[in-house]
Amino acid sequence: MTSVTKTQIGGFLARQGILVAFALFIIGFTLANQRFLDPDNILGVVRSSAILGVMALGVTFVVISGNLDLSVGSMMSFSTIVVLDLHDKLGPTLAIPAMFAMTLCLGAFIGFLVGYLKLNSLIVTLGMLSAIHGLTLTYSGGQNMDIADKAGTWFSVFGQGEALGIPVPILIFLLLAAVLGTILARTPFGRKVYAVGGNGTAATFSGIRRARVVFACYLMSAFCVATAGLIQASRSLGSQNTVGQGLELEVLAAVILGGASLLGGSGTIFKTVIGVLILGFIQNGLLLVGLQFYVQYVVTWVIIILAVWLDVAAKRGKLLSPIA
């Protein structure tokens, strides 16, 4: 190669752009505020990313299988409200499995619609975003939900506890990432998720029962949402009906940032974890440099669009192209 051409630089940016941008962010934030790389701050970021991260793990399965899940935010509100309510009625030991069962039912319903009835996942989960929000409000009567005896319950361990000096939410996130990462990378089910997302027709022609795989991905997503709801409820021991509102977009942003393609068939759990951390650090950095939290909403969207652009650009091998 005689010289590095413009196209090659474009190609490199397209492939590694997210990491380059992330590195620039880190350098910039560190220069702007020394506290950014402080160990306490880093732990804080990971801890506050855990809920988002747990949800992103499940959505990774859905996205790789070639679908979307926009219902995770309002489903997480549902889980949180339900488990707080049942905590006082049934006690935590029964409340937790009851909440998981109810959330999984929602996931199964979505999985049935998208998998077996082959309805468009964007429409189905967008509809469910709204429907589940209504369900939550109906359940709670529109009231905030609080645990009566906040000081006397062991339920707070999931959100506030520590083990080996590490906050429990981080442990749950990492443990779940390890388990789901292994399932995705190493089991026959994981392989089928990639096949269905990569080319659903070819998967069917290879004897894979596509509907079943899609259904299972939505169950996986609902399970992760229930776990996130558990952490959320346990952390605050009280909640509004809208606690998960808007999270679906951040979750999607994290998954795409990690490099999963919205077209399906690519992505890994490890990359999603990276995506979650990138998003967490950028949001934290924005706060540390003194921007208001609502700037995050704008930035999150800019990041999503940037990530989608780079995803497409990587396929074309350059940043701009007249032919899609």
Partner 1 sequence: MTDDTPALRLEGIVKTFPGVRALDGVSFSVMPGEVHALMGENGAGKSTLMKVLGGIHQPDAGKIIVGERPVVMSGPLEAKAKGIVFIHQELSLAEELTVAENIYLGELPRKRFGLVDWDRLYARTDAILKKLKVSFDARTRVGDLSIANQQMVEIARALTVEAKAVIFDEPTASLTDAEKVVLFDVIADLQSAGVGIIYISHRMEEIFKITDRISVLRDGQYRGTLDTAETTEEEVTQLMIGRSLDLSRNVSHHTLGDVALEVRGLSCGPLFQEIDFEVRSGEVVGFYGLVGAGRTEIAETLFGLRDPSAGSILLDGAEVRINSPADAIALGISLVPEDRKGQGLVLGMNCRDNMTLPQVDDLTAGPFVAEGSEVAIFDQYRDKLDIRTPGWKQLVGNLSGGNQQKIVIGKWLSMHPRVLIVDEPTRGIDVGSKSEIHNLIRDLAAQGYAVIVISSEMPEVLHVSDRIVAMYSGRIMRTFTSDEVTEDNLIQAISGIRSTGRVA
CB atoms within 10 A of CB 80: 31
Nearer to partner 1, 208 or 279 (CB): 208
**Any contact of residue 258 with partner 1 (CB under 8 A)?**
no
Nearer to partner 1, 5 or 144 (CB): 5
Q: Are 262 and 311 in contact (CB under 8 A)?
A: yes
- Which of 55, 68, 208, 220 forms a contact with partner 1 (CB under 8 A)? 208
- The Cα–Cα gap between 223 and 203 comes to 25
Nearer to partner 1, 164 or 320 (CB): 320
242: Cα within 13 Å, side-chain hemisphere? 3
Nearer to partner 1, 41 or 204 (CB): 204
Nearest C-alpha neighbor of 225 from the set 94, 108, 51, 93: 51
Binders in 75-134 for partner 1, by CB under 8 A: none
Binders in 141-200 for partner 1, by CB under 8 A: 182, 186-188, 190-192, 194-195, 198-199
**Any contact of residue 203 with partner 1 (CB under 8 A)?**
yes
Least Å distance, CB 185 to partner 1, is 9
CB atoms within 10 A of CB 285: 21
- The Cα–Cα gap between 24 and 60 comes to 26
Nearer to partner 1, 142 or 188 (CB): 188
40: Cα within 13 Å, side-chain hemisphere? 2
- Which of 265, 267, 275, 285 forms a contact with partner 1 (CB under 8 A)? 265
- Which of 160, 204, 242, 245 forms a contact with partner 1 (CB under 8 A)? 204
